[in-house]
Amino acid sequence: LIESVKGILNPEPPEYSTTSLVIIAVAVVVKIVLGRFVQARGRRVRSDTLIASGSDALFDAILSTSVFAAALIFTFTKISLEAYVGVVISGFIIKASVEMLRGSMKEIIGMRADSELSIRVAEIVANDPEAEGVYDLILHSYGPDRYVGSFHTEISDQMTATEIDSMTRRLASEIYNQTDGQIIVAAIGIYARNTQDNTVIGMRTEITKIAMRHDGVIQVHGFTANIDEKYVAFDMVVEFGFDSEALMYHIMQDISEKYPDFSLNIKIDRDTSDLASMACDLDADPNKK
């Protein structure tokens, strides 16, 4: 960029030979072929890195074409555009570099799980006769189409440890098989849903309504209450951009007005898997007991 600006301020006539023009033309063709090949291979193996490399090669081909065009214009008209083309190319290079850096930073910092995979996991769990919903889903990427994940699900509080063990093994196997081995489930956490105590069931319904009346609350799950110890706890998914601490404070005030004798423990979750905001929690199927 600096050299191009210097060339505009202090122009010097360029020199081109037939050999240099042929080399530039061949380079353009090679970059186009290479870019398309690498992009196609990247799409085949679902590699963002290869796709980006192919795009970079095609972008280089476009830039080389502009240099070739400037050389032809000078050869036939003696009008020198090289410095101006250099400034334009520099701008494109800076823009492409920033975009590549942003893409790399997303993978380094972490990205939300793919929506299609999240929905697929939710659908598989929904078909299980004992599991109720998918919550806190996390999928860690270990390369193209390779994920290790974990999530919570709700079950009846009447299930035994043996039944829970059988269910979690079954779910892990079904998710692996139905995603063609893309997802390995490392752990399944359990929320026990009270199905016998009508008082607790009523509290769950009422407290969920109170929380969901507030802007920014996407979902309430993992509800538990102990009537004897006057204790209530649940998880609450809050939309990005909202002050979760202030929101929780107002919700706790509203709940305390309804249930003044109960202590509250609210855990704030973020919608990292996109499931809650897409209403794919598959909550409270009445046919599951």
Residue 114 has pLDDT above 70, yes or no: yes
Domain ranges (residues) in the chain:
2-109, 115-270
Fold observed for domain 115-270: Alpha-Beta Plaits (3.30.70)
- Cα separation of 130 and 192, whole Å? 11
Cα-based angle 94, 97, 102 (whole degrees, multiple of 5): 125
Using a 10 angstrom Cβ sphere, with 0-12 exposed, 13-18 middle and 19 or more buried, the burial of residue 76 is exposed
Give the span between the Cα atoms of 84 and 209, in whole angstroms.
63
**Per-residue pLDDT averaged across 208-212, rounded?**
94
Decide if pLDDT at 38 tops 80: yes
Would you place residue 116 in the very low, low, confident or very high pLDDT band (cuts 50, 70, 90)? Answer: confident
Given this model, what pLDDT does residue 54 score?
A: 83
Strand arrangement, sheet containing 217-226? 217-226, 231-238, 263-270
Query: What's the confidence (pLDDT) of residue 280?
Result: 40
The alpha carbon of 121 is separated from its chain's Cα centroid by a whole number of angstroms, namely: 15
Q: Rounded to whole angstroms, how far apart are CA atoms 171 and 194?
A: 22
Q: For the segment 229-254, what is each residue's pLDDT rounded down to a tens digit?
A: 999 999 999 988 888 889 999 999 99
Name the pTM for this structure.
0.65
Distance (Å, whole) CA 7 – CA 1: 10
Residue appearing with tokens 């107002």: 250
pLDDT at 106: 66
pLDDT at position 270: 76
Q: Are 42 and 48 in contact (CB under 8 A)?
A: yes
